[in-house]
Amino acid sequence: MSIRNIFQHILLSLGPCLIGSALGGLTSYMLASWVKGWGSLENKNVSRLILFPWRTLILILLVIVFSPIFVIWIGLGNSTSFLMTTSFIFLLSLPMATSIFLNKWSSLSTTTHMISSIRTLATSSIVIAIWVSIYSGGGGLGSLMLKHMQLLEFNLWLSNWLVVVVITLVVDILLGILQLSSLETSKN
């Protein structure tokens, strides 16, 4: 291990952190402002936005970020690493910053926040299990996706990815209905 490797690692981690966080924060502020323009979360039409499966969208985009797509498009090297890390931080910062802005403008009950957290953890665990299986040699869809990537069977990789999308979407929407129900209960 050399000083060059350490310096390179710092640049490849903190550079993307600054850029991804800044882009995510700006995008989140614009998104939260757009939602705020519709009215407060106490408004029934606005509160239905809770059902939007943004968690699924972000998590599925994260699967793409960690797939070989960037390597295929750009090649191996620091630029690919930088872009993948920046994309990851950007996608991770979106829900965090949007939530901060929306909570500042309209407070939700503790129950609604708890269900939101459970919803995030449940959808995340579906996607994280893919990576854990790939790196640990575990089973599930992750091991199949790794096998299909190794054999360059991208159509089969995509079919497994779509199954993950559907499972994540169903869990996200079901818990979203529970979250919306808790929001409407707390308003009464």
What would the pLDDT profile of 74-88 be if each residue is shown by its tens digit?
877 888 888 888 888
Q: Is the pLDDT of residue 188 over 60?
A: no
Q: What is the pLDDT of residue 23?
A: 93
pLDDT at 31: 84
What is the Cα–Cα distance from 62 to 127, expressed in whole angstroms? 9
pLDDT band with cut points at 50, 70 and 90 for residue 115: confident
Q: Within 10 Å of residue 35's Cβ, how many Cβ atoms?
A: 19
B/e letters for 113-152, b = 16+ CB within 10 Å, e = fewer, are eebbeebbeebeebbebbeebbeeeeeebbbbbbebeeee
140 vs 44 pLDDT, higher one: 140
Q: Tell me, yes or no, if the pTM score tops 0.85.
A: no
